[in-house]
Amino acid sequence: MKVDERSIGMTTAPRRRPTLHHAVRSLREAGFHERLHLFCEPGSPRSPVDGRLTRHANRCRLGCFGNWDRALGHLLRHESAGWLMIVQDDAIWSPGAASILRAEIAGRQAQRIGFLSPYVTGKDVSDGFVEGWNLYEGGWNLWGALALCMPRDAALDLVRHGRYASHPGPNAIDAVVAASMLDLGRPSLVRVPSLVDHVGETSTIGHDDVAGGLRGHRFGQGA
């Protein structure tokens, strides 16, 4: 196992205004050059041309949580990296985000943590948050699972945890992952300014105009 490397999965589903190609291009431009595993609900857009992309098509609709869980399970079973990151198909990244995340991973190797979220909304920023990585203790109140990166041991604990394993879905990835990490005693951190922005104008769960309240907090205002 390579403790300082990442494996990356991306979940995608049909949208009236697709964002998949934009999301993959932004991920690469931010410095993420790892193989990207794309987990596709039925009817998803065609994959972008990318020699380091592997498409995994769901035979039936799993829903947001089910597809996210499938992605995490696949990375656990088939990839050897010490850190696993699941991103969504409507995330765009700040330039240099990969290096910033890599540096934080390097500094957390000896720590028992839950996840690092390079994405944070204004709804999740508390008084006292500073520039950089901040402890998030809101549990079920987390807004958005646009990009969650966790050490392999935390991912293994997560999928075995009762709250997560019994979650009925189809939504609330953010809430159940954050609450489960609190249950497990694994501190999680979010990044200010957000390194990720949410650009989806239509939701895969049937909501419209979702981007306004879920934009990355101070995205683009420096790293």
Reported as a single tens digit per residue, the pLDDT across 206-223 is 444 455 568 999 998 876
Check: CB of residue 200 under 8 Å from CB of residue 15: yes
The parts of the chain modelled with pLDDT lower than 50 are 1, 203-209
Work out the number of other CB atoms within 10 angstroms of the CB of residue 49.
8
What is residue 1's predicted lDDT score, i.e. its pLDDT? Answer: 46
**Number of helices followed by number of strands (H, E) in the chain:** 6, 10
User: What pTM value is reported for the model?
Assistant: 0.93
Of 60, 137, 151, 71, nearest to 104 by C-alpha is 151
Domains of the chain: 2-214 (3.90.550.10)
Of 121, 51, 119, nearest to 88 by C-alpha is 119
Could you tell me how far CA 187 lies from the centroid of its own chain?
16
Reported as a single tens digit per residue, the pLDDT across 100-131 is 999 999 999 989 999 999 999 999 999 999 99
What is residue 207's predicted lDDT score, i.e. its pLDDT? Answer: 41
Annotate 60-76 with DSSP letters as a single string: S--HHHHHHHHHHHHHH
What is residue 200's predicted lDDT score, i.e. its pLDDT? Answer: 74
